[in-house]
Amino acid sequence: MGWQAHAWDFVAGAATTTLEFYSLETSSDGPVIDSISVALVSAGTGSDMPRLALSPVSPNPASGATDLSFELPRELHARLAIVDVQGRTVAVLADAMLPAGRYAHRWTAGRSAAGVYFAELRTEQETLVRRFTVIR
């Protein structure tokens, strides 16, 4: 019962390497994971290659308003949402086809409970997530 830790050593053959896991074993008491895909991007890709980016949430922890920003390398449909620890969408800050560029948004916690939240940036190809905390 429980998770088993596994470690792999490998040499990436390209700037982006994807590891895929299928049908991980689990007990009947544990969660079922059908598939995991992890994309590893080399730090040596250089600043000249535009890429999707979600900046850290600031301030973190937040007691009121918090700033979120992201960058699109090309025109993409992007959705920036605030999600609670139970996976419920608390707010949607952007959900549109946007041209390449940098975007900034502010989210005010308002009546949201203190706790852990996630800023989730979704495009057709990728999802980036930043964890942050709301305090009272």
Determine the Cα–Cα distance for residues 136 and 128; give it in Å rounded to an integer: 26
Amino acid 1: pLDDT: 45
The pLDDT value recorded for residue 50 is: 75
Residue 25 pLDDT: 53
Please give the helix or strand (H or E) that residue 45 lies within, else none. none
Q: Name the nearest CA neighbour of 62 among 82, 80, 79, 78.
A: 82
| Amino acid found at 116 | V
Is the Cβ–Cβ distance between 19 and 40 less than 8 Å?
yes
CA atoms within 13 A on the CB side of 79: 12
pLDDT tens track for 71-124? 999 999 999 999 999 999 999 999 999 999 999 999 998 888 999 999 999 999
Residues 3-32: tens digit of each pLDDT: 555 455 555 555 555 555 554 455 555 555
* Domain residue ranges in the chain: 53-134
Question: Token digits for 128?
Answer: 């980036």
Candidates 3.40.50.720, 2.60.40.3500, 2.60.40.2550, 2.40.50.140; CATH matching 53-134: 2.60.40.2550
Burial of 134 (C-beta count, 10 Å sphere; 0-12/13-18/19+) = buried
